[in-house]
Each structure stands twice: as C-alpha cells, then as structure tokens.
Amino acid sequence: MQSPPSPPRRRGRALRLLLVVALALAALLAFLISTPTAAALHHHASSSSPARALLVPRGTSSATTKQRLNLRTVREAATSTPPAGDPQADTDAVLLPDWEVLVLLHPGAASLGDHHNATCAFPGGAASPARSLGRMPASGRRAYTCAMPAPERRHKPPFRAPTLLISAPQKADGGAGAARSPPASGSGKELLRWSGRLVYDAAALGGDVLVFAKGVNPRQGVNRNASDVTCVYYRGRDASGDAVVASLPAATSAQQVFRCPPPPLPADGDLRVTLAVAGGEPIPSVATYTPPTLPPPEQKESKKKLICACTMVRDVGKFLREWVAYHAAVGVDRFFLYDNGSQDELEAQVRHLTSEGFHVTTHIWPWPKAQEAGFSYAAAAHRDSCHWMAFVDVDEFIFSPAWAQSTKPAKSMLRSVVAGGVEPDVGQLTLGCRDFGPSGQTKNPEEGVTQGYTCRRRAEERHKSLVRLDAVDTSLVNSIHHFELRPGFRWERSRLARVNHYKYQAWDEFKLKFRRRVSTYVADWTDPVNHGSKDRTPGLGFEAVEPEGWANKFCDVQDTMLREVTRRWFGAGFSKKVAPRRLGHSSS
C-alpha cells in the first residue's frame, strides 16, 4: 500500500498550484487592461481635460499636416463621453501658484449673485471657502477661487478638481439659507496646472479669435512662427463625442496671444478652442469660443471716447480715488481696471466712483504674471470704445509743467497732448517717467501720493505710452510700456507731458510688491536672478527686508509741482468726494 505524501511534498504541490492560478489571473488582468471597455473609455473622457482627449499624430513633416490636423484621427480618439448635460462637461479648474484653485463654470451657468456662500469640496474629503470673482471678460464664465487644503496637497499629482457647492446666504432672521444644488461639478476631473502649457482664454474680437496660451512662447522676444501653430475648435463632451469642428492655421503668434480665424461653421452651441504646436497634441485648454455680438458701426463710433486709461490692479483700492479723480479732471473719459486678484475694498471703491459719475469699469483677469496678455486683450477689446488709451499704473500720474499755473483743471489739458500738433501717422506718444522716492514718509501719507511724496530721482527712468488703438499691430505685442505698431505708424516722444511715478513709497506699502509681479517676462522680487536689472530696486535684495535708511532713499530733487497743483485744484488730500462736476470744463 502506497504511503501518503509527506507534509513537505504536500506543501510544495500546493505552492505550485497557487503559482499556476496567479499566472492565469495576471494574464487575464493584462488582457482586460489592454482592451478598454465602454465604461473605461467613459471614465477616461470624464477625468481628462478636453484637450488631452484629442489625439494628434506626432512627427508630421508636411506643411499641409502642420496647417490642418487629421480630423478623423482626432474624432476616433474620443469614442465615448459623459451624457449630454453632465455638469462636469464644461466646468474647469486650474491650480494657480500658492495652492490657489481657480474654478470656471459653464459659460451659460445661471448667475446666483456674489452674496451666495460657495465652497470647494475636494475629492479627498477636505473643503475650503470659495470666493466669487465675477464673470470673465471674454467668455462671461463665472469664476471662483479657493485654497487647496493642506491634506489635498499631500496627494500625489495629478490632483483632482473640486466640486463647487453654492448655497443661499443666511436669512435676515438668522436662519440658514436654502441649500442649492451645485451648479457645476469638477470632482474627479484632473486639475489643470498653471505651471505647464495651458490655453487659458479666448475672445472673438474684430472678426478674429484671440487665443491666450502660456508655454508656447516662453522667452521674451522669441516667438514661434504662426505657421507652426494650429487653432483647434471642438465641441465639449456631448453624446457624439469630442468632435473637432475645425482646425485652422494661426495668423499671428506673439507672446501669449495667438490670432486665429473663426470656425467656418455657424456655432449652434458652445465650442472649445485650443492650440496644437508643430503637429503635436493639442494643449490642455479651459478656453471657450462664443460668436461675437457687435453693435452697428454707427453706434460704436458715437460712443467712442477720445482718451481712456487702462491698468492692471491688485489691492489698490485706497489709491484709486486719487488716480481716477485727477485723470478725469485733466481729460480721461473712461477707466478700465483689470483686477489681478484683489482682496481689498476695490469693488466698493469702484461702486462709489461710479455712483458719483466717473466711468470706471472692472474686468477680472485672474491669470498670474500675464499682464502683457491682459493689455493685448484690452487694446483689442476697447478699440471701438476709445481713440487713445493711456496704459499707466495707479501710482503713475500724467502731468505737464504747463499746467502748473492753472487755477483749476480742464479736460482740454490732456486732450491737447494727443490732438495738438500730433500727425495722423503718430500711433504712440511716449511719456518719460520721473521716479519719486519715500520722501521721508514711514507710512502711507493721508493726503495722497501726489501730495505726500515730493522728492525724486534726477535721472529719467523708462516711459509709459498713450496709444492710438487703431494703430496697434495685429500681433498685439507689447512690453507694458509700449506697443508694436502697424506699418505706416510711428512713435513720437511727447514734449508736452510726462509721468510722475510714485514708485518707491513708504516701506509698508512697497514691501507688498514682494507677493508677486504681474509681468510675464519680469522676474519676481524673490527670484535670485537679474540683480542689476532696471526692473530691480537699487540696494534691495531678494527678500522683503527694509534697507537701512529707506525713507530717505531715491531723493535727488525736491519736486513739489504736482503737490501744489492738486492742492489748488482739489484741496489738501483726496479723502473727500470729488465729483465730476468739480473737475473742470467740457464734460465730453
């Protein structure tokens, strides 16, 4: 009789059996992974950005392929999408610097006002309050920002987008407001990152579509040829898939602005737009396209103002009244503020100024270090509203020594600068800058900057410009201080006016600049590069540490001319209301 197997032999047989089963399961799993199901495709489409769902052949060399993508390849790449009406389909989220998350709702999302309570609920369970920024200037999409909670930051990238929850504000009797369903959800979608390539906005203006993208032309003055860039229009995630409507060659490529032809087909719904570079895959995009609605030409011309002013702002509410009141007095008709993330009383100040009759409009521009692109958009968007645009900051005041003896301001003052003796082919007037120092001040002067800072550097530094908007080049290239002009137009240095730049203010104000600069191609204050650049402050390091003797630096010349003028015109200080009726003659 055969004896039973010994315990070691039984264990060896069992291990061999387990190994065979494990190998079979591994083979089955590999097969399932390599053959995506409809559910898997659905999940991929819902968790990827629209641009990443579009696949474009790499390495193509023919000019035809570079100009027009293979639409069949693109369409076949997206075989399944969430059902129509899925709230995830048209909500986007972008991770900005400092762990700030920007959430953009569907272009047609209903407005709930700015007083509703909003919360970003992240997939990991953490949440943070969301702040309403208002509507984007081109697309009209409602924008919110929130901070990514610390627990979410510890996750391994790619991060996932939050769900935006909105509820009604608390009732007057103390009870909670009625809860509302979230207007859109991005939970589970990939959170796009500002640190990489991104198409972030688009605007249909002047018969073309301006597409704004970072990462394509990352170096100042080095722009990729427009022939290498393709504009891709496609539908969002609907029942028929991510269908490409058109792929067209870009007309211009400069800085972060790309001029594209509009899609040839009439749009019966919202489209998205992105860029593909040199036959590569389309860039991740949060940009949407909506056909423009323009007023009749005669209506546009009747509303066109002679001089407007445009600036990008962040937390300058307490300085705004002085800047607006002064420039309105000397001839600026309208003011356009591009808000780059203000968290002060800017909105309240604008409301007050508007209620007093000043024409001040705020547009949100939440994109970090994208000032040049913002000015490019402004030059195109306001071309039908203004003949001339002054691109000056809130700490910069246009002034002519010829006004020094005037007993009161007049709107003809600045108008004479752009009208008197300026030839029709002059597309840009440059104004030299005089840089003022702290002038002994250790805190923000209550009487305002023009009356509080009176000592400046002797040497003239840089310039700002009055730009004839019809003369701006189609590329919209600018260096903040000036624009490139179309052929047939030229620059001219103004002999009549200059800019008083209150640049080096009391340290408590100046150190706020260390948060982040707004120019694309200028290093942040804390970046240890370009120490000797004119964009740096002499004697200042890379940290917000007050240099010894700061209050008395940059003081070569006592210049009280504008202080005396504003005292004569407005009285001591700008704390009281200055209504337009006090600002001189001929209200335009």
pLDDT digits (tens, 9 = 90+) for 233-281: 998 754 234 678 999 999 999 999 999 999 987 656 678 999 999 988 9
* Pairwise CA distance, residues 358 & 244, whole Å: 45
pLDDT, residue 532, reads 56
Strand-pair partners of 359:
none
* Nearest one of 244, 251, 255 to 214, comparing CA atoms: 255
* Pairwise CA distance, residues 144 & 141, whole Å: 10
Q: Is 495 exposed, middle or buried (0-12, 13-18, 19+ CB in 10 A)?
A: exposed
pLDDT, residue 283, reads 94
Q: Is 307 helix (H, G, I), strand (E, B) or coil?
A: strand
Which tens digits make up the pLDDT trace of 395-410?
999 999 999 999 999 9
* Nearest one of 524, 548, 521 to 217, comparing CA atoms: 521
Contact 146, 153 (CB under 8 A): no
Task: Please give the backbone phi and psi of residue 189, each rounded to the nearest 5 degrees, phi first.
Answer: -75, 155
pLDDT, residue 414, reads 98
* Pairwise CA distance, residues 309 & 293, whole Å: 24
Contact 198, 273 (CB under 8 A): no
Q: What is the DSSP letter of 495?
A: S
- pLDDT surpassing 70 at residue 435: yes
Task: Please give the backbone phi and psi of residue 120, each rounded to the nearest 5 degrees, phi first.
Answer: -95, 115
- pLDDT surpassing 70 at residue 114: no
pLDDT band, very low/low/confident/very high, at 527 (cuts 50, 70, 90): low
* Pairwise CA distance, residues 327 & 390, whole Å: 10
HSE (side-chain half, CA atoms, 13 Å) at 440: 6
Between vectors from CA 585 to CA 415 and to CA 325, what angle results, nearest 5°? 75
Name the residue with tokens 């103004």: 494
Q: For residue 189, give both structure tokens.
A: 């979608």
Task: Please give the backbone phi and psi of residue 428, each rounded to the nearest 5 degrees, phi first.
Answer: -160, 130
* Pairwise CA distance, residues 127 & 146, whole Å: 9
- pLDDT surpassing 50 at residue 73: no
Stretch 23-37: mean pLDDT, rounded? Answer: 49
Give residue 27's Cα distance to chain centre. 50
Out of 327-331, 455-459, 575-579, pick the least confident. Answer: 575-579
Q: For residue 375, give both structure tokens.
A: 């000015």
For the chain, the straight-line distance linking the first and the last C-alpha, in angstroms and rounded, comes to: 119
Return left, alpha or beta for 566; rule: phi > 0 is left, psi -120 to 50 is alpha, else beta: alpha
Strand-pair partners of 361:
336
pLDDT, residue 382, reads 98
- Calculate Rg over the CA atoms of the chain: 29
Which tens digits make up the pLDDT trace of 151-192?
999 998 899 999 999 876 665 555 544 445 444 555 568 899
* Pairwise CA distance, residues 25 & 22, whole Å: 5
Which tens digits make up the pLDDT trace of 308-337?
999 999 999 999 999 999 999 999 999 999
Which tens digits make up the pLDDT trace of 95-107?
999 999 999 998 8
**pTM of the full structure:** 0.80
pLDDT, residue 290, reads 85
- pLDDT surpassing 60 at residue 85: no
Q: Is 466 helix (H, G, I), strand (E, B) or coil?
A: strand
Residue 512: C-alpha distances to residues 10, 360, 453, 507, 588 (Å): 76, 25, 18, 9, 37
pLDDT, residue 529, reads 52
All domains in the chain, ordered by first residue: 51-81+196-289 (no CATH), 92-188 (no CATH), 304-574 (3.90.550)
Q: For residue 236, give both structure tokens.
A: 């969002």
Contacts of residue 578, defined as CB under 8 A and 6 or more positions apart, other chains included, come to 321, 325, 329, 356, 570
* Pairwise CA distance, residues 132 & 125, whole Å: 22
Q: Which residue has the higher pLDDT, 266 or 219?
A: 219
* Pairwise CA distance, residues 495 & 319, whole Å: 28
Task: Please give the backbone phi and psi of residue 257, each rounded to the nearest 5 degrees, phi first.
Answer: -120, 130
Stretch 54-77: mean pLDDT, rounded? Answer: 34
- Sheet with 271-277, strands from edge to edge, namely 244-249, 229-235, 271-277, 288-289
* Pairwise CA distance, residues 229 & 233, whole Å: 13
* Pairwise CA distance, residues 110 & 318, whole Å: 32
- pLDDT surpassing 70 at residue 149: yes
Contact 106, 184 (CB under 8 A): yes
Q: Is 384 helix (H, G, I), strand (E, B) or coil?
A: coil
pLDDT band, very low/low/confident/very high, at 18 (cuts 50, 70, 90): low
* Nearest one of 379, 394, 406, 415 to 349, comparing CA atoms: 394
* Pairwise CA distance, residues 326 & 309, whole Å: 12
Question: Residue 220: what residue type?
Answer: Q
* Pairwise CA distance, residues 364 & 359, whole Å: 17
Q: Which residue has the higher pLDDT, 230 or 32?
A: 230
Return left, alpha or beta for 462; rule: phi > 0 is left, psi -120 to 50 is alpha, else beta: left
